[in-house]
Amino acid sequence: MSIIELQIPPLKKRPEDIPLLIEHFFGKFSLINNKRGLKLDQGALKAMINYDWPGNVRELMNVIERCVILAENETITLDILPQRLLGEKVDDIYKTNMTLAEIEKNHIQQVLKQAQSQQEAAKILGIDPATLWRKKREYGIQ
């Protein structure tokens, strides 16, 4: 009997595998938790693809299980993802000496980075697309 050692690159070097693994884990945990038809919105998928996954596939599996358990509807959005997947720490984004306008501007910028479109960003923010357009103009967001 011989043993074959396989060298598989870490997940961060295989971003094309992430959607396939997500689909696999959604199937597994949706069945276990009796929550069928779950899907990721584009912003959440983008955040997962851009994350480095230091815990590799096991960390991805745990995140998907968490999302399935916390899901209140069929679409998993950025607000269900663990904060570490979104890039910056909340403490770094929302410093205590910031005005409400600065916090709003930062939040809009973060959502725009994650969203695939203006429509999606407006939906995530819970505002009309025209309101998002006005806020971007008001805050000088490109």
Structural domains in the chain plus CATH codes: 11-86 (1.10.8.60), 90-139 (1.10.10)
Instruction: Report residue 140's pLDDT band, with 50, 70 and 90 as the boundaries.
Output: very high
Q: CB under 8 Å to 102, separation ≥6 — which residues?
A: none
Instruction: Report residue 123's pLDDT band, with 50, 70 and 90 as the boundaries.
Output: confident
- Does pLDDT of 137 surpass 90? yes
Q: Which letter does DSSP use for residue 95 in this model?
A: -
**73 or 19, higher pLDDT:** 19
Q: What does the buried/exposed string (b/e) look like for 90-106 if buried means 16 or more CB atoms within 10 Å of the residue's CB?
A: eeebeeeeeeeeeeebb
Q: What is the pLDDT of residue 61?
A: 94
Q: Does residue 68 contact residue 26 with C-beta atoms inside 8 Å? A: yes
| Chain segment 54-79, per-residue pLDDT in tens | 889 999 999 999 999 988 888 888 88
- Does pLDDT of 96 surpass 70? no
Q: What is the pLDDT of residue 48?
A: 92
Mean pLDDT of the chain: 86
Q: What is the pLDDT of residue 132?
A: 93
